[in-house]
Amino acid sequence: MTRVIALLTDFGQEDIYVGTMKAMILNICPTAQIVDITHAIQPQNVREAAFALLNSYQHCPPGAVFCVVVDPGVGSERHAIAVNSGGYHFVGPDNGVLSYALAHLATDIEAVKLENPQYQAESISHSFHGRDIFAPAAAHLAQQPELFAALGGALETTVSFPPPELSFARQRLIGEVMHIDHFGNIITSIGAFHWTGDEALRLSPVWSKAIPALDLSARTANITIHSHTVHGISHAYYEVAPGEILAQIDSNGFLEIGANQDDAADRLDVQLGDKVMLRL
């Protein structure tokens, strides 16, 4: 059976790291169908990788194996793990990088430590567990999912990040910048939204169970980041003039600040973690 192995790393494309991981996978599982989710996570930014995995895993077919390697603690005592949840397998360091996706799945979670040398490279480097531990584990799971328990001892709990900032008081939602994409679009923790009418939105908060579902008018909402305020939430870029900054709902349901044919993050001098306020 051909299974998807989805790779998500901070390795970039300039070096040999991604290619050698793929070679290791194909040596073990020649029929694997490898999907590159992204290799452009900011170096060592585990939370950004966790957010990317949250927004991508559910678009892969059932049975997919996710090999996620953003691992600033490589070579330390942090565990290398595999997780089985929701019909998917996840392989990566136990540093929180899997935690947003696993929380979203909200199903039974089985976790094991990757400690069986039979399912690793013959020689393990101290600095490239992506090639020597995670890629082989992903390949073996793609080829024989029933090997999961043989990869190593069971792990009762895995490392989880606290949820991103999302608070609500006095008709104001406060969130934070989670990701800045290739175009300079600013994706925030405020979501998930769906359109209930041409100018009506409903928010079902992803991160806080204490915040109820909220209905709001897209036309009268105001979004502030740094000292810049955007009036109203648009459907898409074409609704504003070239160069104009806008707010919209991104393809995964999160509030986004962008600019029509321009780089909003550069113009507003925005960084990951910056605060964003939505006034209803």
pLDDT tens by residue, 162-190: 889 999 998 999 999 999 999 999 999 99
What is the distance between the alpha carbons of residues 194 and 210, in angstroms, rounded to a whole number?
19
Whole-number pLDDT of residue 210: 87
Q: pLDDT grade, residue 1 (50/70/90)?
A: low
Residue 253 DSSP code: S
For residues 155-163, average pLDDT: 92
pLDDT surpasses 80 at 2: no
pLDDT surpasses 80 at 100: yes
Cα–Cα–Cα angle for 155, 159, 165, nearest 5°? 155
Q: pLDDT grade, residue 107 (50/70/90)?
A: confident
Pair of tokens at residue 270: 């925005």
Whole-number pLDDT of residue 108: 87
For residues 146-150, average pLDDT: 96
The β-bridge partners of 90 are: 66, 83
Q: What are 202-259's pLDDT values in tens digits?
A: 999 998 888 999 999 999 999 999 999 999 999 999 999 999 999 999 999 999 999 9
Which residue matches tokens 């070579």? 75
Q: Following CA atoms 265, 268, 274, 279 in sequence, which dihedral angle do they give, to the nearest 10 degrees?
A: -110
What is the distance between the alpha carbons of residues 103 and 105, in angstroms, rounded to a whole number?
5
Helix (H, G, I), strand (E, B) or coil at 146: helix
56: left (phi over 0), alpha (psi -120 to 50) or beta: alpha
Percent of the chain with pLDDT over 90: 94
Whole-number pLDDT of residue 234: 96
CA 37 to chain centre: 10
Mean pLDDT for the chain overall: 95
What is the distance between the alpha carbons of residues 254 and 238, in angstroms, rounded to a whole number?
19
CA diameter of the chain: 61
Phi, psi of 268 (to 5 degrees): -95, 0
What is the distance between the alpha carbons of residues 212 and 32, in angstroms, rounded to a whole number?
42
Whole-number pLDDT of residue 16: 98
What is the distance between the alpha carbons of residues 266 and 47, in angstroms, rounded to a whole number?
21
Residue 74, CA distances (Å) to 80, 88, 121, 127, 255 in order? 9, 24, 16, 6, 33
- The reported pTM is 0.93
Whole-number pLDDT of residue 125: 95
Which residue matches tokens 């584990």? 137
For residues 66-73, average pLDDT: 97
| Alpha-helix runs per DSSP H in the chain | 17-28, 46-54, 99-105, 129, 135-143, 264-268
Count the Cβ atoms, other than its own, within 10 Å of residue 182.
8
Identify the H or E element spanning 28. helix 17-28
For residues 97-122, average pLDDT: 94
Q: pLDDT grade, residue 106 (50/70/90)?
A: confident
pLDDT surpasses 80 at 29: yes
pLDDT surpasses 90 at 132: yes
The full set of domains in the chain, from first to last, is 4-151 (3.40.50.10790), 166-279 (2.40.30.90)
